């Protein structure tokens, strides 16, 4: 509780308007434009009714500054606006009422933004401090204005909080869905990588068991060593199979088919240009899955488009480039986590994935998969 109060009054706050809005540049320009309009109007009214050579620059800075701060910290904007209300009472007399005519257009939007961006506890303290401020301003004025003014100010705060809560709930839902998609994809990667690792472990078992027949004159200690290594490798394969059972869903059956590699990319895309290079099985599998997902996305979201696939070996890495032109309207479908899966797969090898729209309306995916030590 005390922490919430300190956060409202003193601590830095990162909540800001348009923090994750896709049109934030337009929104920022709109907020600053509105703030400039109100600041000019407030300053003009002050000059007209008060001292032309007085405090209007300070008033202009406070009003415009409070709107500008909403782009970085809405609580800082509210602090400045609330302090500005008190300061204006000390500097000059406003018209009767708790808030003057232009102050409504200044303070209410700030309260709305606070409600949109802040949590429930913070909102409670803001409401309490704002109510106290309104009644403090009313001590030198008609108290009949205090109650309706407080009601309207808090109404804006509550409305902002109602809309903001819905937006925050949607963001949490999408974040949790993305996290679940990542976990599902990692489990799928682990299941596929099991076959790759099991193959290598099987080779260890075979070489350990055949060593006495391939290498003549092995001492008794050497024979025991190979036997123990073979037994340990077999135990490791058994443990991996048990782990695979945990990662497999209840309705999934074991897949005994070999995992695809670079050579299988030509089956997916006969027109693909694939470098004739030997790579680790895990790298080949990852490259195959990246191409597969990129082709699926192109078919789903740009049907009828022309797709090009280039797989090359450059500077100790496999580079996969898949590009499609503009196509027909998207048919929808899919979970929207294809790029997430690509990045998770490539990240296993310490690689990177970039994906973006092209100038001709198409889409391009580029993945770089390091080969590692071979």
Q: Does 234 have pLDDT greater than 70?
A: yes
- Do residues 63 and 84 touch, judged by C-beta distance below 8 A? yes
Q: For residue 352, what pLDDT is reported?
A: 93
Which one of 258, 278, 304 terminates a domain? 258
Looking at per-residue confidence, does 8 or 195 come out higher?
195
Measured CA to CA, the distance from residue 255 to residue 17 in angstroms comes to 49
Please give the share of the chain, as a percent, with pLDDT higher than 70.
Answer: 80
This prediction's pTM: 0.53
Same domain, 151 and 224: yes
Name the 3-class secondary structure at 257.
coil
Hey, is 300 helix, strand or coil? helix
Picking from 224, 258, 292, the residue at the C-terminal end of a domain is 258
Q: Domain total for the chain?
A: 2
The enclosing H or E element of 169 equals helix 146-214
pLDDT value at position 253?
56
> Does residue 276 share a domain with residue 141?
no
Mean pLDDT score, 283-306: 90
Dihedral sign for Cα 78, 83, 88, 89, please: positive
How much is the average pLDDT of 23-33? Answer: 78
Q: Above 90 in pLDDT, residue 31?
A: no
Are both 275 and 231 inside the same structural domain? no
| Domain identity same for 105 and 26 | yes
- Model confidence at 243: pLDDT above 70: no
> Which CATH number covers residue 366?
3.30.565.10
Q: Is the dihedral of CA 323, 327, 330, 333 positive or negative?
A: negative
| Torsion sign, CA atoms 149, 155, 161, 167 | negative
pLDDT score, position 222: 86
Question: Which has the higher per-residue pLDDT, 54 or 5?
Answer: 54
Last residue of a domain, one of 235, 258, 281: 258
What range defines the domain where residue 233 resides? 1-258
Choose the weakest-confidence range: 88-102, 246-260, 297-311. 246-260
Q: How confident is the model at residue 10 (pLDDT cuts 50, 70, 90)?
A: low
pLDDT, one tens digit per residue, over 339-374 is: 888 888 898 889 999 998 988 889 999 999 998 754
Same domain assignment for residues 331 and 223: no
* Span 134-153, pLDDT tens digits: 888 776 556 677 888 889 99
Helix axes 2-9, 120-137, angle to 10 degrees: 60
Query: Do residue 104 and residue 179 come from a single domain?
Result: yes
Q: Where is mean pLDDT largest: 144-148, 301-305, 320-324?
A: 320-324
The mean pLDDT of 161-188, rounded to a whole number, is 77
What does the pLDDT read at residue 18?
59
Q: Note whether 146 and 110 are within 8 A (CB).
A: no
Q: What is the pLDDT of residue 22?
A: 46
Residues 297 and 212 in one domain: no
Q: Report, as an integer, the average pLDDT of 289-315.
A: 90
pLDDT of residue 56: 82
Mark whether 324 and 365 lie in a shared domain.
Answer: yes
Over pLDDT 90: what percentage of the chain?
A: 20
In this prediction, residue 41 carries a pLDDT of 87
Q: Are residues 236 and 311 in the same domain?
A: no
Asked whether the predicted pLDDT for residue 97 surpasses 60, the reply is no
Q: Do residue 272 and residue 309 come from a single domain?
A: yes
What is the spatial distance between Cα 197 and Cα 282, in angstroms, rounded to a whole number? 9
Q: In terms of domains, do 174 and 321 share one?
A: no
Same domain, 1 and 29: yes
């Amino acid at each position: 509780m005390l922490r919430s109060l300190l956060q409202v009054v003193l601590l830095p706050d990162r909540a800001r308007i348009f923090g994750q809005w896709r049109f934030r540049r337009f929104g920022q320009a709109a907020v600053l434009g509105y703030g400039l309009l109100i600041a000019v109007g407030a300053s003009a009214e002050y000059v007209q009714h008060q001292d032309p050579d007085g405090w209007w620059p300070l008033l202009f800075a406070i009003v415009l500054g409070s709107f500008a701060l909403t782009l970085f910290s809405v609580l800082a904007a509210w602090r400045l606006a609330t302090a500005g209300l008190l300061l204006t009472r000390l500097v000059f007399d406003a018209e009767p009422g708790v808030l003057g005519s232009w102050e409504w257009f200044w303070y209410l939007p700030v309260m709305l933004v606070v409600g949109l961006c802040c949590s429930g506890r913070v909102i409670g303290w803001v409401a309490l401090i704002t109510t106290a401020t309104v009644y403090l301003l009313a001590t030198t004025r008609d108290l009949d204005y205090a109650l309706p003014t407080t009601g309207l100010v808090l109404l804006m705060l509550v409305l902002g909080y109602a809309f903001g809560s819905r937006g925050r709930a949607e963001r949490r839902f999408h974040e949790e869905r993305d996290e679940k998609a990542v976990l599902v994809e990692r489990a799928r990667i682990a299941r596929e990588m099991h076959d790759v690792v099991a193959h290598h472990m099987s080779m260890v078992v075979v070489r350990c068991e055949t060593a006495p027949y391939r290498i003549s004159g092995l001492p008794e200690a050497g024979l025991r060593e190979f036997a123990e290594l073979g037994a340990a490798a077999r135990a490791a394969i058994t443990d991996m199979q048990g782990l695979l059972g945990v990662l497999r869903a209840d309705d999934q059956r074991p897949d005994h088919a070999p995992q695809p590699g670079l050579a299988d990319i030509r089956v997916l895309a006969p027109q693909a240009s694939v470098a004739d290079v030997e790579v680790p099985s895990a790298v080949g599998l990852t490259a195959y899955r990246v191409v597969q997902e990129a082709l699926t996305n192109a078919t789903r979201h740009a049907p009828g488009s022309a797709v090009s696939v280039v797989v090359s070996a450059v500077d100790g890495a496999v580079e996969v480039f898949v590009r499609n032109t503009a196509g027909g309207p998207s048919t929808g479908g899919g979970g929207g986590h294809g790029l997430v899966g690509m990045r998770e797969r490539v990240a296993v090898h310490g690689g990177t994935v970039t994906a973006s729209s092209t100038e001709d309306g198409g889409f391009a995916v580029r993945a770089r998969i390091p080969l590692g030590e071979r």
